[in-house]
Amino acid sequence: MIRKTASLAIAGLTVLGTASETAAGGRAVECYQQVNRPAVYETVYENVLVSPAGQQVEYDPAIYGTRERVVQIAPQRVSYEIVPAVTRTIYRKVKIDDGGYSWEWRVIHGRKVLCKIRHTARYERVAETVVVQPERRRRVVIPAEYESVAEEVLVKPGYRRIIDVPASYQTVARRVVVREGSSGWRRVHMPRHCRY
């Protein structure tokens, strides 16, 4: 690098010296032209990581439904009750007076006389209650009681699933320098008629 810089410096001095001579009316022996070489780039493609690999957890909740069910709310029971007696009213004729004789004062043809009066037996209709069926205790069976109720039941259980997610890559283009740019001097060929 030092050698290249030194030769460039010498060439520069030579050109300057030549220019001085030419400007002063001298003859050009050699001429150099400055040359700039641009840098050379190239597009390269490479995969870059967009997102790393990992795991994803998915939850599927349980599903519940409703079912009707008949349940017993009261068992069968036995109780006893009193059945009152069955009665009936009957009527019968009873003698209330045997009859007989009595003495009474009466007025007959304007005269007050004492008369012996005969009385017949007297009867009267009386009601009487008779028991047809006596009082009794009766056994009563009360059946069990049922009711329809709605209850929640599991239709499908929930579960957890782990999914492996692979890493994600993307291809990106990138420009890289293949050759650095440089500048230097190039000898210029001069036609013979231009040397004087």
Residues 57-75: tens digit of each pLDDT: 888 899 999 989 899 999 9
Helix (H) / strand (E) containing 16: helix 2-23
Chain segment 94-141, per-residue pLDDT in tens: 888 888 888 999 888 889 998 998 888 889 999 999 999 999 999 999
Helix (H) / strand (E) containing 158: none
Strand 145-156 with 122-133, pairing: unpaired
Q: With 0.85 as the threshold, say if the pTM is over it.
A: no
Is the Cβ–Cβ distance between 116 and 103 less than 8 Å?
Answer: yes
Question: Looking up tokens 């410096």, which residue turns up?
Answer: 9
Residue 161 Cα distances to 36, 53, 55, 60, 155, angstroms: 65, 17, 10, 8, 19
